[in-house]
Amino acid sequence: MSDTLQQVKEVIADVLKIDVDNVTLETRFIEDLKADSMDQFFLIDGFCEKFDINISDDEARSIQTVQDAITYIESKQ
């Protein structure tokens, strides 16, 4: 498992208070993890803090899955 994936899972676990053992690259934040708009805000904020990056509102809207988050984060590092 990539380091980025592990760190993304840590943010998801912290924000959504869930066990992330079954979270995969294809996991969707809204449909699969039942994240509401506030959860999504805190996820994006968590990613920004964890990876020391900035994610604009427009860019945040395109982050729908774990893979989307990893792809975006790795493109900014």
* Residue type for position 27: T
**Distance, first Cα to last Cα, the chain:** 18
39-44 long-range contacts (CB < 8 A, ≥24 apart) are: 39/15, 42/15, 43/11, 43/12, 43/15, 43/16, 43/69
Q: Is 36 a catalytic residue?
A: yes
Residue tagged active-site, from 3, 19, 21, 36: 36
- Catalytic residues, which ones? 36
